[in-house]
């Protein structure tokens, strides 16, 4: 897996993967922290609604973690197919325990893998953890079929993120700026505590 130079330190995707695999052993704490007293859970559902999922859609879940969004995608139809990608083998293992049909799981770095063509792609708090986030954005965008949609729910760096995240990976990453620069058809919705939802149309 690739290395990225950041703040003169060399961070590897493997390090991020190990960090999240550690958390995958503590699902209760992970779920408690990641729902952020219900606030993030509420916005996650809102972000998924913005994907405008249709029954026959193929959905790419970027940094799917323990697969906590899979059932929410299925609310839009049993025909929905899910591709969950995560660099952490522990998270992929947790995802595989979900009792959800039509799910394909891939363990790897989203920035450096060949992706299948999909109708919709979503990232729930994953882009701020992805080292080569610009490369990943291009890769995911290029995987979208015409008329497809990419929805990103994330945070701009702020003091709360130090508690929530693997600090080394997201520092100095202004995702909103990058997304605005890269894509023309984009809508950004901003929420308290640096949270945003970006809706990108292809």
Ligand X SMILES: C[S@@+](CC[C@H](N)C(=O)[O-])C[C@H]1O[C@@H](n2cnc3c(N)ncnc32)[C@H](O)[C@@H]1O
The binding site for ligand X (CB under 6 A) comprises 13, 16-17, 20, 34, 63-65, 68, 85-88, 91, 109-111, 124-126, 129-131
Q: What's the token pair of residue 192?
A: 């308290």
Burial class (CB in 10 A: 0-12, 13-18, 19+), 147: exposed
Q: Which is nearer to ligand X, 7 or 146 (CB)?
A: 7
DSSP state of 102: S
Total residue length of the chain: 202
- The strand pairing partners of 12, in sequence order, are 3
Q: Which is nearer to ligand X, 91 or 198 (CB)?
A: 91
Q: What minimum distance in Å lies between the beta carbon of 16 and ligand X? A: 5
In the numeric block, the tokens 């620069």 are attached to 181
Q: What minimum distance in Å lies between the beta carbon of 64 and ligand X? A: 6
Nearest-angstrom CA–CA distance, 179 and 198: 8
Q: What minimum distance in Å lies between the beta carbon of 10 and ligand X? A: 15
In the numeric block, the tokens 């508690």 are attached to 163
Q: What minimum distance in Å lies between the beta carbon of 84 and ligand X? A: 9
Q: Which is nearer to ligand X, 65 or 148 (CB)?
A: 65
- The strand pairing partners of 11, in sequence order, are 4
Q: What minimum distance in Å lies between the beta carbon of 120 and ligand X? A: 15
Q: Which is nearer to ligand X, 69 or 147 (CB)?
A: 69
Starting at the earlier edge strand, list the strands of the sheet with 58-62.
Answer: 103-107, 81-86, 58-62, 118-124, 144-155, 195-201, 186-191
Q: Which is nearer to ligand X, 120 or 125 (CB)?
A: 125
């Amino acid at each position: 897996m690739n290395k990225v130079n950041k703040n003169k330190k060399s961070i590897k995707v493997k390090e991020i993967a190990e960090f999240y695999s550690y958390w995958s052993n503590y699902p209760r704490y992970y779920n408690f922290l990641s729902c952020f007293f219900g606030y993030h859970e509420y916005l996650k559902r809102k972000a998924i609604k913005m994907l405008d999922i249709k029954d026959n859609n193929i959905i790419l879940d970027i940094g799917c973690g323990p697969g906590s969004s899979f059932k929410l995608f299925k609310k839009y139809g049993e025909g929905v197919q899910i591709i969950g990608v995560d660099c952490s083998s522990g998270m992929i293992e947790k995802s595989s325990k979900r009792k959800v049909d039509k799910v394909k799981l891939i363990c790897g770095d989203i920035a450096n893998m060949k992706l299948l063509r999909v109708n919709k792609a979503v990232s729930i708090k994953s882009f701020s953890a992805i080292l080569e986030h610009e490369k990943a954005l291009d890769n995911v965008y290029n995987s979208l079929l015409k008329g497809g949609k990419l929805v990103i729910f994330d945070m701009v760096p702020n003091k709360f993120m130090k508690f929530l995240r693997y600090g080394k990976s997201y520092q100095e990453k202004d995702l909103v700026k990058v997304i605005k620069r890269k894509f023309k058809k984009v809508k950004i919705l901003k929420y308290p505590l640096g949270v945003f939802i970006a809706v990108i149309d292809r």
